[in-house]
Amino acid sequence: MASLISCSIDLSKVSEGVLKDGKYLQITIAVNDKTEFNHNAGIFFSQSKEDREGGVAREYIGNGRVIWTDGKATLADPYEAVEKSPATKGKKLPLAK
């Protein structure tokens, strides 16, 4: 699958407390079939499985629109998290599969 999504995030809704490790913002982008106000993508803070199952409302922080797609949707391959060790700390590593 290939798609390009142009998005905007309202930074006034992002506090330092929601950043993972003080610098990563974990978001979820939902692409909809319906377009409203020239947008068909919503951006939310990512939720834990417990939050989703518990019915905690998504916190909307922005929107966007698909600007190009090849028309196919595929799931990303799952990967295992790589533990940080003194030997790898601070080094850029390829994504684990």
Q: Count CA atoms within 13 Å of residue 7 on its CB side.
A: 20
Instruction: Residue 14: give the domain boundaries.
Output: 1-97
| SS3 at position 79 | coil
Distances (CA, A) of 84 to 52, 79, 91: 28, 15, 10
Number of domains in the chain: 1
pLDDT of residue 74: 77
Single pTM value for the model: 0.70
pLDDT of residue 97: 41
Q: What are the residue ranges of helices labelled H in the chain? A: 49-53
Q: Token digits for 95?
A: 């994504």
pLDDT more than 90, % of the chain: 57
Rounded to an integer, what distance in angstroms lies between the CA atom of residue 32 and that of residue 15?
A: 27
Query: Taking the CB of residue 9, how many other CB atoms lie within 10 A of it?
Result: 14
